[in-house]
Amino acid sequence: MNRALILTLALSLCGCASADGLWVEIADTRYRVEVADDDAERARGLMFRDELPAGTGMLFVHESEQPLAYWMKNTRIPLDILYFDGDRRLVSQQRDVPPCSLGDACPPYPSRAPARYVLELNAGEAARLGLENGAELRLGPGIPAR
């Protein structure tokens, strides 16, 4: 085996990096993330997936801070939806949001304040971390901060 392959395998086994190396931290816990930073990626989100591996999530990045509402259309896994403002402070939480197969009849889950970043994690993570509004989201290299 070549060294690059060995390093890649070692990093993936220890949970230290995703395929593209993107991560966020909240409450001293690091999550490997996929980043959805355009309209098509944000619309697709985590639809049609049967699982979200432990220690991973999806970060949605919007161009500006604004009122946001997410829904679970075609989402098969329960999630925590965490809303952060432009300073990356937690401003609203929707915990244990259930899957929805009702298509356009799925209910929205709004932020209670304007947000720029949305982090989706497996349901129960926010409770496990004891997250409170005001918690800071730390962005790893390669994720746009402004």
CB 60 within 8 A of CB 115: no
pTM for this entry: 0.85
The per-residue pLDDT for 141 is: 94
Does residue 2 surpass a pLDDT of 80? no
pLDDT tens across 97-107, in order? 999 999 999 99
Question: What's the chain's average pLDDT?
Answer: 88
CB 78 within 8 A of CB 120: no
Domain encompassing residue 118: 20-139
The per-residue pLDDT for 20 is: 61
The answer as to whether 11 is a domain residue is no
The answer as to whether 4 is a domain residue is no
Report the candidate in 72, 61, 74, 121 with the shortest Cα–Cα distance to residue 95. 121
> Number of folded domains in the chain?
1
List Cβ neighbours of 90 (8 Å cut-off, separation of 6 or more). Answer: 26, 82, 83, 84, 131, 132, 133, 134, 135, 136, 137
pLDDT tens across 5-47, in order? 333 333 333 333 344 699 999 999 999 999 999 999 999 999 9
| 95 vs 125: CA distance, rounded Å | 9
User: 125: domain CATH number?
Assistant: 2.60.120.1140
The answer as to whether 146 is a domain residue is no
The answer as to whether 2 is a domain residue is no
